[in-house]
């Protein structure tokens, strides 16, 4: 798990973000990108109970909305009415 996948991560640019909890600037990937003990999974389709069968590109099936459809596991779900944390 990485800072990037954490609910406390605020994106700054394509390389780094800010931790809303400790206020540190943290990298998206590479060295020091591993999450800390305060990690809390961000609301993303991949963390939703209604997301299933992702392929090797992270594209899976959403069954949480009116009509079944495909979705990306990394898609931000903070505004989705069907989101249910796993």
The site for ligand SF4 (CB under 6 A) is made up of 3, 6, 8-9, 19, 21-22, 26, 35-36, 38-39, 45, 48, 50-51, 62, 64-65, 71, 77, 80, 82-83
Shortest Cβ 10–ligand SF4 spacing (Å):
8
d(CA 25, CA 10): 9
CB-closest chain residue to ligand SF4: 64
Using left for φ > 0, alpha for ψ between -120 and 50, and beta otherwise, residue 32 falls in left
Using left for φ > 0, alpha for ψ between -120 and 50, and beta otherwise, residue 46 falls in alpha
Shortest Cβ 76–ligand SF4 spacing (Å):
9
Closer CB to ligand SF4, residue 12 or residue 65? 65
User: Tokens 């909305």 appear where?
Assistant: 65
């Amino acid at each position: 798990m990485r800072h990037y996948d954490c609910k406390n991560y605020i994106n700054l640019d394509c390389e780094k973000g800010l931790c809303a909890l400790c206020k540190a600037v943290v990298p998206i990937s590479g060295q020091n990108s591993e999450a800390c003990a305060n990690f809390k999974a961000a609301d993303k389709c991949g963390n939703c109970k209604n997301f299933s069968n992702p392929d090797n590109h992270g594209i899976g099936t959403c069954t949480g909305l009116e009509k079944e459809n495909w979705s990306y596991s990394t898609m931000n779900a903070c505004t989705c009415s069907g989101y249910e944390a796993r």
